[in-house]
Structure 1
């Protein structure tokens, strides 16, 4: 069977630490979508490591890590990450595997991403400029180069063909930046990539499951950034929800058992796009400051606000969430009053559903207030040590979204997780 960990908000929920926490219980950790726009932060000892492409189980010596076919892979980012991981004494050539169907991000994909975003002016979607969108466009346009193509003698001609196609598009954007340095790094990274374990991903994972191995599928970004169900057009280019596990790894739906959804105790968002509960006041600034809310991939300050239960219930519904993991509960330790959004006032009508196009309507959040717990939660080890106010806050959320919170993260440390 296969369990899934994914984000229920707009990404940045702290999934890296959660995957790292659960990794010892699994034989295989598999990334099923996204690319280097993901930033999964882990702490190895007292050192902070941010992973963008490699699954978060890499620091567990006996765990197999698979980059699935649903991922778009930047060889340059991967090589840098492998070098970082190797500096901790981990042999990536032993426990990192890459599906041959995984699509490559080329230097011209990054250039196209940048050119496209610059051309949008005030209509920017907040792209991370990592080449994700153009890479997925080539995938759906059936032009992509995949990892397995590296082993083909015609790879160079394939590359030149797509490079020329991209250049025409760049000329249309009047993009004149010199990317020769990017290409130099790219071809150097390709040589490294060829030395890694390139496998037939779908047979690899299904054969392991047939032999009783336990698999944890690791999602990137969050459900509200899903290409179909997120806040379109301010979304990512892949399916970030649990359905993406099937086509991102090549596993059947009935193989999925537990779906662990990760949510912060409040809400954040990086880049553009609708965010109904965003706070533009001192409270929002306080959340950002206490929570160190700056993007792991971009370094951009995150927009902050109260937890949005309308969006959270929607995310639990479309994912079939069986357990919730609440992160960064400790960030709320000093607040006298906490608020949760229970419905939206949309053009004078109260609704508890996520609208088709958030950008086309005026959404005013309707809140329910709770008394803050006003105590240091970072030292708590057991649920019994949580205050009554903390229990009340979590209990209300559970009842509203119809899914149980089983774990509460109360600090960045690997051991700072309370099991409920």
Structure 2
């Protein structure tokens, strides 16, 4: 893809989409009747508002109408994601010379929040794919960037992040998957667990042990689907995140060219953690989108549902609950955007702020969605109502990209070791 300014590309492609489809925003809560106090466009530049609108419109037209079907039938919506990639959403913070949009971390957060109002599960996978593409773009050499990034940015190919193992989750530095160099190949043996996209994706960014124990013995290899010795476990049955497959990724004497080593030997753990700093902002942003949609759904329900002769919107207890939900949504959004800016500027506090954002926002946004379900009463528990899917899809955000317990460890360690 030729290097094109992100706003120009988004505006041009958005225009073509709008000409070919009739916008029907009444079907979803994304942009209809948003109160100014919770408006996600508040504080953004005109350019950011432009691609935020594109992302909201894409969510409303291309994702929201299919969200329930993708969930119930466990469909991985490849073509929809490729249409998102045409808008520049396949490599949002990848450099333009290899097909990326070259946007900032804050811009990325704005886009993922908007897309998640249409389908959290699909957007969360797109965020993982973006993280993998960024890792190759940032730590790969010229040949690796030119080989992998253009296809990832266009989503002609899809990527998966492979860190977690059956015996190493929070203690990622204890991973056991080994890579022994023999001639011009590394021979991989081991397995990865809970891999988003596993089996359906084309490129696997794998953390493996090339040296001794601990983080300094870990390296990062890019493994392509079809490599002999690469196989996959059964598709996992999950509570949510059903529009993306999850499988174990298995290596049995899997020969990977030495030329697929990202960075240097021993740099893999650092690469993995730097990827996760951005991943934590991304997943928090996906939680924001779910919470934003649920605040809108709850508001709409309170205005139309009647009990005891009047609408629920006249009940002061529910009014106060809605006010608390809106306040927590805005506070969460501000924290995510602060963390995104800190990471973009490589501020000393960036790692802690990313951890704070992931901890606070995934907890609070889950609570917002859960409260919205409660406000719907029995209707909220029916799969005909979107609120229950938002609850199911964001529950896992408190676990992945580093559990929220690990986020507490990172934050407290930073506080206690500062001079």
Measured against the shorter chain, the TM-score band is under 0.3
Q: Kindly indicate which of the two structures has a greater share of residues assigned to helix.
A: 2
Given the two structures, how large is their TM-score scaled by the length of structure 2? 0.25
